[in-house]
Structures are given as structure tokens and as C-alpha cells.
Amino acid sequence: MLTRRQLLGSITVLGTNVFIPFPSVALQEGEPSRTAQGAALLRAAHQLLETPLVFDDPLALRILGPQRRRLLESDLDRYREPGSRALRAFIVVRSRFAEDELARSVSQGTRQYLVLGAGLDTFAYRNPHGESLRVFEVDHPTTQDWKRRRLQDQGIDVPRSLSFVAVDFEKDSLADRLRSSGFRRDTPVFISWLGVTVYLTREAVMQTLGFVARECAPGSRIVFDFAVPDGLLGEAERNRRDELSGRVAKLGEPWISYFDPQALAGDLLAVGFTGAVSLAASALNERYFVGRADGFRVHGSSGRIMSAYT
């Protein structure tokens, strides 16, 4: 069973306490976790600090609301630190990669997009594919209610092509809730699952991936990120990751699972996927960061992105 904390986890790479947003702002009932809000703040900070943008999200600042946006803009120096920049690079590139892969799937005929653990993701409200692409946002009911109030408060329109799928994983079946929301299992779907696997048990991760492989139509694809075991890291990077994981554990969000990329690819094939490819920092930098004059790029080897298809 997945809890609210597990569903809305946010990050798999090293960083600094910039990832823990605004301790002076108390969490309200039903809000996303601090790490989920931290990821949203890093996407928003990217809109202000980097040129050219790796991930262009015109709603990233707006969805924060006026209080958090003012706090962000008044304290940008903390986001200029090297640790923050490296962490932000991974946060924005995983969203960019997912949306690029989504566009490729749409060009091949996919008409469903499932966002697992949607948090403060804004794709549905700036969807360039229009109503031909049906979007399903999956989240815990209280968190989803909070987001919908935020959207209303900020005047962000909810398109007819979006379906909110409220799932309490301690009580509800994801398959049943999707079915009742109009999700079709007989046509391909693209799925993004970002910033979650590190907070789940291995069994929970493979259960979700198995659902995609076995229950979604051929031609479906999932993009997710994950963290590699300590043995694949150098000592300095391992120490930095331990520091961050200790901080988020104190917030009640401990990291649980790590995956060897080659072994994970084999596991994906075993549960029914046709193919799986993981991308490390070098591949992401070559694709998205070449030629930049500001040195903005992904560092380290802790965080990886996996793309798997049926």
C-alpha cells in the first residue's frame, strides 16, 4: 500500500538544504510534502535563473501562489549555489525528457497521458496537444483537493481534456479508479512517474511497473527516475547523497529503494516490457546542455531516468 508521503516523494539526486523549502511556512492539511514543494520551487527558480531554459514552464511560478513566489524571488541567492544548480538541472531535465518522450508518443498516435503522483505538475494546463490528448492526474484525494483550490485561486483554467483521479492507495485500487475516470486500457498510454521510486519499497515499485506492462495496451510507455546503489557512486558523491537523504528523512520522507540500472532493465523485461533504456548524466548533458555558456548541467551519477515501453 502506498501512503500520501510515498506517492508524492520528489527527488533522487544529491543536493543541499535548498531542497527543503521555506521552513517558516507551515504545511497545511492536505498540502504536498516539503520535498514535493521543493521540486516545484526548483522548477520555478529555473524560469528566473537560467537562459536559455531547459524546461520552459510558464505556469511554474504562478502555481506556487503569491506567498511562496515572493519568498522565492527574495532569496534567489540560495538557488545560485553549486549544489542547488546541479539538483535543479536534474529536476528540470527529467520533466523536459518526459514531455519530449510524450510528444514523440503523441506523434505516433498515443492519446492518453497518465501523470502518477502529479503534485504541482502543470502540463495539463499548458497542454500543446490540445483536447486530442486526454490527461489523467493521479494523486491522494486531500492533496488533489488542495491543488484544485490553488488552481482556482490563481485563475488557472482546468481544461476539459483533464481528469483528476483521486486515489487513496490504502483503500482504493488504481486500476478501478482509472477505469471509472474514463481511462482506456485498450489504447496506448504515456505515463510519467517522477520523483517517487526512491520512497517506495522495491515490491511497490515493481508492482506499479508490472501493472503498466501487463494491463496497459501495447505501444504504451513509462518514464520514471530512480537512484542507484551506493556501490555505483564515488565516495564524495555518496557522502553528499547521505547528507541530503538524512535531511529528508527528518521530514518523514526516508529514501528506501535503489536500483542497479542494468538489473532494473532486466527486471522490466521480465515483467513484460518490450524494451527499456536508462539515461545517466552524460547522456542527458549531451542531449540537453551542450553549448551552454553558464555551466548549467547535470552532475554526478546518483539519479537516472528510465524509459520503458510495451
The mean per-residue pLDDT over the stretch 152-159 comes to 95
Spatial distance between the Cα atoms of 113 and 294, rounded to a whole number of angstroms: 34
The mean per-residue pLDDT over the stretch 87-97 comes to 96
C-alpha distances in Å from residue 191, one per residue of 19, 93, 134, 153, 255: 25, 16, 12, 28, 22
Spatial distance between the Cα atoms of 168 and 170, rounded to a whole number of angstroms: 5
- For the chain, the average pLDDT equals 86
Count of other CB atoms within 10 angstroms of residue 296: 21
Angle, CA 212 vertex, CA 204 and CA 133 arms, to 5°: 125
What is the per-residue pLDDT for 14? 27
What is the per-residue pLDDT for 275? 97
Count of domains forming the chain: 1
Q: Where does the pLDDT of residue 59 fall: very low under 50, low under 70, confident under 90, or very high at 90 and above?
A: very high
Q: Where does the pLDDT of residue 12 fall: very low under 50, low under 70, confident under 90, or very high at 90 and above?
A: very low
First-residue to last-residue Cα distance in the chain: 25
| Phi, psi (rounded to 5 degrees) for 217 | -65, 150
- CATH number, domain with residue 291: 3.40.50.150
What is the per-residue pLDDT for 199? 84
Of 12-16, 163-167, 227-231, 292-296, the range with the lowest mean pLDDT is 12-16
What is the per-residue pLDDT for 24? 40
The mean per-residue pLDDT over the stretch 149-165 comes to 95
Q: Where does the pLDDT of residue 20 fall: very low under 50, low under 70, confident under 90, or very high at 90 and above?
A: very low
Answer yes or no: is pLDDT of 197 > 60: yes
What is the per-residue pLDDT for 7? 39
| Phi, psi (rounded to 5 degrees) for 304 | -130, 160
Q: Where does the pLDDT of residue 23 fall: very low under 50, low under 70, confident under 90, or very high at 90 and above?
A: very low
Residue predicted with more confidence, 204 or 17: 204
C-alpha cell at 271: 515483467
What is the per-residue pLDDT for 17? 39
Nearest to 283 by CA among 264, 297, 266: 297
The mean per-residue pLDDT over the stretch 236-242 comes to 81
Q: Where does the pLDDT of residue 33 fall: very low under 50, low under 70, confident under 90, or very high at 90 and above?
A: low
Spatial distance between the Cα atoms of 12 and 226, rounded to a whole number of angstroms: 6
The range of the structural domain enclosing residue 22 comes to: 4-309
**Dihedral sign computed on CA atoms, order 89, 95, 100, 104:** positive
Angle, CA 45 vertex, CA 162 and CA 95 arms, to 5°: 45
Contacts of 54 (CB under 8 A, 6+ apart): 46, 89, 92, 93, 96, 288, 289, 296
What is the per-residue pLDDT for 223? 98
pLDDT tens digits, 104-136: 999 999 999 999 989 899 999 999 999 999 999
Of 5-9, 47-51, 108-112, 255-259, the range with the lowest mean pLDDT is 5-9
